[in-house]
């Protein structure tokens, strides 16, 4: 595996190569491993980036506490026979003016966008730059961050960028908890709470229209959540239209805190 910290040297190496790209902020877990294994089936050169993007964090404390373990991550990537790893500095990512302006679909104002002002602007900013540097044929992204996935897709479509997003299913632990880098911040009791919340939402989803928001939030607090940002049902097949009734085309989006750790999921 070749490791690059400079975008110019990376470009020289991957010029004219068919690249499959997995963008990450490190803290690699089973979900990332699934993306990498799926990428390798496409028989292109696989490139993984590790960059904790400061512009998508609302709080400095959240940025500082984000799980980082490059030594562990590099070992995982070597064991998976990844071709290239890009670990840029903040300067390497942000010292140039990209070709495309940031485009945010109006759905960026909903869900996480409502509670994390500027978050998706930061996500699209860094994805715009990474795509321009790498020029990947395919980009592998997980459905756990479904709103992010939707907005990156809309950005790519807006400018008719040739990179294609490959949507990959959410990977879960046996207890139902979605794999996430933030899970490294959870203790055993926290994991139990997250599992109970998943089981609860999964149980009531088919009768979602029978429950009001106040009741649902109250139940999550009873299960151990410290705070609940949202529980909302959207039809993901109809350009993210809010729906009262759950169906096979819908996903229930949730965001809540266990202690000071913010978790998201869609079920």
Residue positions annotated with a catalytic role: 32
DSSP track, 226-260: SEEEEEEEEETTTTSEE-SS--TTEEEEEEEEETT
Residue 265 pairs in a beta bridge with 254
Would you call 35 helix, strand, or coil by DSSP?
Answer: helix
d(CA 264, CA 20): 26
- In angstroms, how far is CA 255 from the centroid of its own chain? 13
One-letter-per-residue 3-state SS of 190-232: HHHHHHHHHHHHHHHHHHHHHCCHHHHHHHHHHHCCCEEEEEE
One-letter-per-residue 3-state SS of 55-121: HHCCCHHHHHHCCCCHHHHHHHHHHCCCCEEECCCHHHHHCCCCCCCCCCCHHHHCCHHHHCCCHHH
């Amino acid at each position: 595996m070749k490791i690059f910290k400079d975008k110019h040297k990376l470009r020289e190496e991957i010029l004219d190569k068919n690249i499959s790209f997995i963008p990450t902020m490190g803290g690699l877990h089973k979900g990332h491993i699934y993306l990498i294994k799926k990428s390798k089936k496409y028989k292109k050169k696989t490139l993984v980036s590790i960059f904790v993007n400061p512009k998508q964090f609302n709080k400095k404390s959240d940025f500082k506490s984000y799980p980082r373990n490059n030594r562990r991550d590099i070992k995982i990537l070597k064991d998976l026979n990844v071709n290239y790893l890009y670990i840029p500095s903040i300067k390497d990512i942000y010292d140039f003016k990209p070709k495309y302006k940031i485009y945010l679909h109006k759905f960026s104002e909903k869900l996480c966008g409502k509670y994390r002002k500027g978050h998706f602007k930061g996500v699209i900013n860094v994805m715009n730059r990474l795509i321009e540097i790498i020029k990947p044929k395919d980009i592998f992204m997980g459905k756990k961050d479904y709103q992010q996935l939707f907005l990156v897709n809309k950005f790519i479509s807006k400018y008719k960028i040739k990179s294609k997003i490959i949507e990959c299913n959410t990977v879960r632990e046996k207890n139902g908890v979605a794999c996430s880098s933030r899970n490294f911040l959870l203790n055993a009791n926290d994991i139990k709470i997250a599992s109970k919340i998943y089981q609860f939402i999964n149980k009531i989803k088919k009768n979602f229209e029978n429950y009001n928001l106040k009741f649902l939030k109250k139940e999550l607090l009873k299960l151990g959540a410290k705070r609940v940002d949202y529980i909302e049902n959207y039809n993901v097949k109809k350009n993210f239209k809010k729906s009262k009734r759950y169906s096979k085309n819908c996903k229930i989006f949730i965001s809540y805190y266990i202690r000071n750790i913010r978790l998201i999921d869609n079920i």
